[in-house]
Structure 1
Amino acid sequence: MLEFADYFDVLKKRKWVLLVWIVVGLIGAGVAFLVLPKVYRSSTLILVESQKVPTDYIKPMAVDTIEERLIAIQQQILSRTLLQRIIEEFHVYDDELKRQPLEDVIDLMRRDIKITMVDDRFHRNIQAFTISYDSDVPALAMQVTNKLAALFIGENLKVREQLVEGTSEFLEGELLRVKERLDRQEAEISQYKQKHIGQLPQQEEAMFRTLDRLTMEMQTQNDMLRMLVERKEIMRDALETSAGTPGGVIHLSPKGRLRQLREQLAQLLSEYKDTYPDVLRVKREIKDLEARVARGPSADDLEEDVVVSGSDMDSQLRTVDAEIKVRRHRAGEVQSQIKSLELRMEQMPIREQELSTLLRDYETTNKRYQSLLANKESAKITEQMEKRQKGEQFRVLDPANLPIRPVKPDPLRVFLAGIMAGLVLGGGTIWWLDFRNLPFRRPEEIESSLGLPMLASIPHMFMVGGQDRSNGRNGTPAVTGWRQWLDRMKLLPGNAEDGNGALMHKLPTGGKSQRVLQAHMNALGAEQFRVLAGRIVQVREKKGAKILAVTSSLAGEGKTTVALGLAITLARDYLEETILIDGDVRNPEVSTRMGLQDERGLINVLAGECLLNEALYQHTHPNLRILSAGTVENGSRGLTATRVGMQELLADLRGRGVIVILDAPPILPMADMNLFSEVVDGIVLVVRAEQTPQGVVAEALRFLSGGSIEGVVLNDLVTPRHQYYGRYAIAEPPPVL
């Protein structure tokens, strides 16, 4: 994953690409601003006036908001018929009509017409609105705008009048329909009451009174029947007694007489009122007799002779029997009336519910009728107000102006668009150059992408010694900081010098001149080479790998620098017997940097022109010897040896027990590296940070046949993981190799 610092570094590196595209975008925007046609806009402000009569007195008919009404009017104004009429009247879009159908031209005019609402900023109530029209002719824009304003005002009046008239017509029709329904419900209620009279809820009290009266009458009839039956029994007893009495005389006590009078009074009261003469007479007799009984018995009051003949007694018995029959018949009638009344009272809740439903529907209809009647009267008043133009209206506040300056194209937007286009194109170019095939920037990227272990991370000279990378010319890769370090190698003074200032040492096998050099190396770079050398020693101890080839995917990634630094560090810090072989015979960079480009070397040894010991040159460190690429007589270079010859040479070196560092040719595009990969013990792959694309490295690994890759060296790393290392490297005096 790329971090922000990675993007910032890329942007910093490609800033001129981005600036160039921004300038191109600004130039294109300027040309577009001059070429694009000018558009003028005329606008008018229309004020929305509220009705002149207070709403407390006359309620407005319109229930929709002004915004909703404006939208409805806008749809009518922007209809195909009206716009076509305006196009024909003012001859607008004549050129467009020649090239496009009418429907497309009408859509174009709709886009040129703009309606904007203006509110009061506090209550969000619309107080006014503006109508504007865009045209390439200023006078035509003003004329069309005035026409649109007139259409809006006229359409608003028309809509409000139609609304009021339609409301009045609707209310009249609805009022007639509700009136018919109300009359029908009144008739239904009247018929129901007539049909169920005596069972209606409002008759409940009268029915209870009637029931009480009938109950009392039933009680009276029962009492009279009981007294008549008792009287009949007394008369029968008296008749039987008088049969054995001379002359038919019956002696009755005052109490017996009082009982007879009371029975007679009860009978009379059941039939007559209290003011009836017989009732009054019997009451006087009862009163006198009660007084006599209250004074106590006397000789005169002990008995009273009542003479009753046999024929009179029979007549009275027949009379009592008839009275009993009448009383029983009346009691039966009263009992029937009570049962009928109870049945009707049982039906009363049902009738109450049915009548309540009828009355409720009637009340609802009546309320609706009254409401419609009131609304009808209000609609008539509102209609009169609209006809007198006292309602809400549209009034032109600012007539359409004659535009002077064009509104399109907007210079700010045009140049901003140019800048944005430049940024997009610049970003695309940077992506194509740097992100289309991303290079490796950090060690963890190599481990996660290639699955190979990291051996070391060689820093960039700018970060460790103050030198920045520079781009090469003629397509050659930039010279890295370590290559600049190796270029600064100088000859050391010694015991004897030749004419070129080189030290003369004798080899163990006989004398050959050797070049001894030293280099000034930054502390951070030296430390990374020590890390690399230490891991190479571990590889030798674990796997027995003594011959290692240092290669890269492409030329210019710093493999020669890494090979030289690794060989020097092994010889100086680890005291390992080391032989550095320049195996890149097509580009013998080691030989060139060491000044051995004209000396015999690998090619001569493989060709049998000299022995290996005769071609080895001693470095200033006694543990390091160098085998150059060698030369041929005709001056041309090439790998003429076979695989067998290379195997024999490396077998000879492997038998000496030394570490051999082979500066091998790059993997791409030639196949020279495949010859070395099959004969060496291991391969160290050098990848230049922020330069070599990841896809190229993957392709090189697929192209490589044979060989064991021991790890990867990330060379020329620009951004170290910790800035402290850079300060430490600058502060520490460089060691001498």
Structure 2
Amino acid sequence: MADSFQSKLPIKPDQILEIIIRRRWFIIIPLCITLTLGLFITFTMDKTYEASTLILVQPQRVPSDYIKSVVTSSISQRISTISQQILSRSNLEKIIHQFGLFEDAKNMYLEDKIASMRERVLVKIERARHGTEAFSIVFRGSDPQRVMGIANTLAGYFMDENLKFREAQAVGTSDFLDAELQKTRKRLEIREKILADYRTKYLGGLPDELETNLRTLDRLQDQLTSKQELLRNTSDSLNILETQIAQSKEMASQNFDNQFSSFDFDEEAFKGTENEQKYSLAKEQYNTLLLKYTEKHPDVAKLKKIIEKLEKTIEEETLEGNPEGETEFSEQGVDDKNQGIGIPDFAAIQQEAQVKQIKNEIRKIQSDIFKIEQQMEIYQKRVEDTPKRELELQSLQRDYANIQNVFNSLLDRRLEAELSVNMEKKQKGEQFRIIDHARLPEKPISPNVKLLFLLSLASGFGLGGGGIYLLEMFNTSIRREEQIEKNLGLTILAIIPHLKKKGHQVKAKVEMVAFVCFTIYATAFLSFFVILNSKGLDRTIYFIKSNLNF
């Protein structure tokens, strides 16, 4: 029934105040306990200090329009890479030995020390105004002096590693481009040689010489036509001249036969005649016949035998020493024969010379025609093969152009990489610049006095309030007049005041004094927490030690 009474009546602010006053011990005692525990934890907990170094990423000093840096990785990627190098086992082990860390933990394994060091180092990337990038290196530890030194040392490592990283990347890029450039140069030289050999092999039949070949072919055709026309005219002239010579030969042969037959070369007539004159006449006639015929001609062969006999006869007469004998032919007869046989035919000789000259001209013209036809075949084949050569040459030139474009691109990039390497070596590229060096930390970040203070208050009031709430919820007694009038429907006629027992005043005074003491205790601890939070734990402890001579 009481639960129903309490649920129907709302709680007023004065009633809450009355409950708090009545249950004040449930608030002050837990608060004092939690404040005491919080202060105890604050003083007994290991102190942790934090030192940070702010580093600005300074852009390269040379404008990027003039020299482009080959280091294209983002700041976060580079910081992540450098962080892995800085937090390597060997580097952290060197820092541990340098600053004498973990001297009190001699039984601690080296792996645990390195893991603890990695947990204490924190790299935070910060982005300032206008897109400027910066990052901070934070280190936490129990000794403020060491914390400051390690933070500055790590910052120096970051700056050195960044310079090494950028220079190594620039040099690596330059070396890679140089190696690729050498390979591409060899490929380009091979293609150049193939293209040059192809041009040399098919010189005169290349596509750009097609117009020249066509004009040359037309010119050769005109020359061929002219030579053929000249050959026809010369052949006609030769035929006419040969016809004239044949007629002349026929007439001369008839006269020669008559003269030759009248001239008796009997063997018996050789005796006692003027053989020298006969020999001279026969020799002249022999030479004349050689101009017309060959040595195999019957007349020439016959006359040659007579000349041989005359030579033998003259030799015999010379050996015998006979005087000049008489001859069967009279001087008049010899003179007549000399006049008939010894006079050369100059017209026939001139005609024969003309025939030889014309034949030579014909042979020369025929040779020229043959050469022209050969040249025309060569140029005709060149013209016919021009489409094929054009396709082959286009393929070779396309491969050469592609390799040349790659070579030119690599050459430009190699030059840029060399400039970038020089820029990095002279430290004109992007650099890390320390804006704020790590300072000696005065206020520890752990324990967090403010957080412990708030937790102590919250836990004290929470425990007290929760206890009061539970007591009031499970209390079923009637404590107010309204509960009787509204719930029971009874009218209150009189109220009997609370009867005070003997010694009530003394008890109340003792209780008041105890409450005041607890209140002062809680207030002192609250004030002490406020001082610790504002002044700092180290300063407060130092002040207490210096003033109280601890």
TM-score, scaled to structure 1: 0.37
TM-score, scaled to structure 2: 0.48
- Of Structure 1 and Structure 2, the greater helix share is in 2
Relative contact order higher in (CA < 8 Å, ≥ 6 apart): 2
- Of Structure 1 and Structure 2, the greater strand share is in 1
